[in-house]
Chains A and B, each alone.
Chain A
Amino acid sequence: RKEVEQDPGPFNVPEGATVAFNCTYSNSASQSFFWYRQDCRKEPKLLMSVYSSGNEDGRFTAQLNRASQYISLLIRDSKLSDSATYLCVVNSWGDYKLSFGAGTTVTVRA
C-alpha cells in the first residue's frame, strides 16, 4: 500500500464551481501535512499547510481527519488559474522524508 494515495482525477469543473478531493495516508504517526500545487512543466509549490483544526486561505480550505487518516482540499469559486495538479504531502515527526501523493489533476473550464 502506498504511503499517500490520491484520486488522480481529472476533475473537470466549470468556472465558479466548488471542487473537493481527498488524500489518504497510511502512517498514523504522520504529523505534518501540506498541499502543493504543480502547474504543467513547473516545479511543485506550497499551496498551504494543513492544521489539525482545519484552515482556510482565501478560496482554499484544507481539513485533516486523523481518525480516518485523510486530508482534504476544497476550492470554492474555481478560477481558470486553479487548473493544476494538487499534490498531497505528509511527513512524520523526526522523519526528514516527505511522502508525496501522485497528485490530483483539476481542470477548470470557461
Chain B
Amino acid sequence: DAGVIQSPRHEVTEMGQEVTLRCKPISGHNSLFWYRQTMMRGLELLIYFNNNVPIDDSGMPEDRFSAKMPNASFSTLKIQPSEPRDSAVYFCASSSGQGYTIYFGEGSWLTVV
C-alpha cells in the first residue's frame, strides 16, 4: 500500500522565493498533519486538517505560511516569501482518526539560502 507521499523531497531556494510543498495522504485517512522538524525545536505541529477542513493552525509560524487541502487526497503547504530560518524538514502525516497511529511521509528537506 502506498504511504504518505510528499514532494519535492529536496528543495534549495533563495530567500524571498515562494515554496510549495505537496502531500498526498494515505487513502481513506481523514486526518492530515503538517509538521516541521529542526534540531533546535524538534517536531512542531504546524496545522491539522480533519475531513479537509483546517481545525487548528495555531502552529503556523506567521502569515508567510499557508496550507490548503482542496480534497481528501491532496494538501499543500506554502511559504511566501521564504526566509533562511524556514530551513527545516517538513513532514506531512495522516491518520484515520483521533488517537490512531499517524503515518509520516518521507519529508521535504527545505534549504533557504
Indicate with 1 or 0, residue by residue over A33-63, a CB within 8 angstroms of chain B CB atoms: 0100000001111100100000000000000
Interface of A toward B, CB cutoff 8 Å: 31-32, 34, 42-46, 49, 87, 91, 93-98, 100, 102-103
**What's the minimum C-beta distance from B26 to chain A, rounded to whole angstroms?**
13
Which residue in A46, A49, A91, A102 is a CB contact (below 8 Å) of B103? Answer: A46
Indicate with 1 or 0, residue by residue over B42-71, a CB within 8 angstroms of chain A CB atoms: 110100101000011000000000000000
Pull 10 A–B residue pairs with CB atoms less than 8 Å apart, ordered by A: A31-B99, A32-B99, A34-B101, A43-B105, A43-B107, A44-B104, A46-B101, A91-B99, A96-B56, A97-B48
**What's the minimum C-beta distance from B20 to chain A, rounded to whole angstroms?**
20
The size bracket of the interface on B is 10 to 19
B residues 57-113 in Cβ contact with A at 8 Å: 91, 98-99, 101-107
**Pair A95/B42 contact, Cβ less than 8 Å:** no
Given the complex, which residues of A lie within 8 Å of B102, measured CB to CB?
98
**Pair B99/A43 contact, Cβ less than 8 Å:** no
Interface of B toward A, CB cutoff 8 Å: 31, 42-43, 45, 48, 50, 55-56, 91, 98-99, 101-107
Contacts A43-B105, A43-B107, A44-B104: A95 and B98 contacting too (C-beta < 8 A)? Answer: yes
Roughly how many angstroms separate A8 CA and B48 CA in the complex, as a whole number? 27
**What's the minimum C-beta distance from B43 to chain A, rounded to whole angstroms?**
5
**What's the minimum C-beta distance from B52 to chain A, rounded to whole angstroms?**
14
**Pair A100/B106 contact, Cβ less than 8 Å:** no
